[in-house]
Amino acid sequence: MASPELALVVEMLRSRPRGDDLSVDELRAGLEDFAATIPVPDGTRCAAVTAGGVPCEWVAGPGADDGAVVLYLHGGSYVLGSVATHRGLVARLSEACGATALVVGYRLAPEHPFPAALEDAIGAYRWLLARGTDPARVVVAGDSAGGGLAAATLVALRDAGEPLPAAAVLLSPWVDLEGTGASLAANADADPMIDLGGLRRAAAAYLDGVDPRTPLAAPLHADLGGLPPLLIQVGGNEALLDDALRFAARARAARVKVRLDRWDEMIHVWQAFAPLVPEASAALARVGAFVRARLGSGRGPLSSARTTDGGRPSAATGRGHATAASGARVPAAPGRRTQAAPARRR
């Protein structure tokens, strides 16, 4: 049986006013304002950085190893979200994994439709490798749309013949932009995180006329052979449950090592509600065990992450905000390269 804390969160989410009449800018501002009220763990250090031309943020939870990196792609249906909205979740993920996270502030639709987000994710990954990070000590992770983007990034890197990360973590991934999963209707009442109408509008904005079965936009339709090991977490009450189940089945059929972690009664991206919801904290602990086993992470605190202004990551201050102190030398960032992403079609 789900915890009382989860029931409280579900009730709170159901009481929210619908955003059907709000503009994209208003929806974004509302999410930013909400995220600013969520504190990050004590001892978290954050610093802005430009990674391959992409605005990003280093997030180091307590005890994070600077030699192990989680490249994190935030959710928000490709229309909403930022490094700030996911700072709390990523800080807890960093602590659980014993690894420093690089959160990618990829471009959003409708201003920047597919393949802009994919180009930015690839650019940030290439920047990591260009600065000397061993791909064997990198995990790519993301939630919701970010989970789908993480999967698409792996496929694009494989197709380009580039070194792949050690593994990937997909939290409640959105991989089917047509919305054909039966769980979208079956779990509609149980999952207050997903609005089917809003999801369809977001898909249309991101695709901007591109075929919704394009593999790098909707990786459910991609050839998944040769991808690194995957951890997929999904809630039993999720509207996107079938996205995760079908993607896991396709990956296994392609001989990819897959750990499917299904949590009964959980909603979409319940991990974001740690530490309030005990199941969220437990899920992040399982992610941490998976990542540590593959990266050998957690050996020491962050010591050398760089920022564009020469600062070291500093302790996070306030709620969801951070500052950077001076002191670290800044390496030259390599230029953006996006050859692995397809040209946008009209």
Whether residue 144 lies in the annotated active site? yes
Give the tens place of pLDDT for each residue, 238-269: 999 999 999 999 999 999 999 999 999 999 99
* Residues 315, 43 contacting (CB under 8 angstroms): yes
Is the pLDDT at 328 greater than 90? The verdict is no
Check residue 326 and give its pLDDT: 24
Query: Could you confirm whether 268 is annotated as catalytic?
Result: yes
pTM above 0.95, yes or no: no
pLDDT 10s digits, 47-92: 999 999 999 999 999 999 999 999 999 999 999 999 999 999 999 9
Q: Is 23 a residue of the active site?
A: no
Nearest Cα neighbor of 55 from 79, 83, 94, 33 is 83
Asked if the model's pLDDT at residue 339 lies above 60, the reply is no
| 290-305 pLDDT, tens digit each | 999 999 865 433 333 3
For residue 333, what pLDDT is reported?
30
Confidence band for 36, pLDDT divided at 50, 70 and 90: confident
Active-site annotation holder among 74, 86, 221, 268:
268
Tell me the mean pLDDT in the region 159-171. 98
Q: Which of the residues 172, 238, 279, 297 is marked catalytic?
A: 238
Whole-angstrom distance, CA of residue 142 vs CA of residue 173: 8
pLDDT of 168 higher than 50: yes
Catalytic position from the list 77, 94, 144, 172 = 144
Q: Per the structure block, which two tokens stand in for 201? A: 């509008």
State which fold the 4-308 domain adopts. Answer: Rossmann fold (3.40.50)
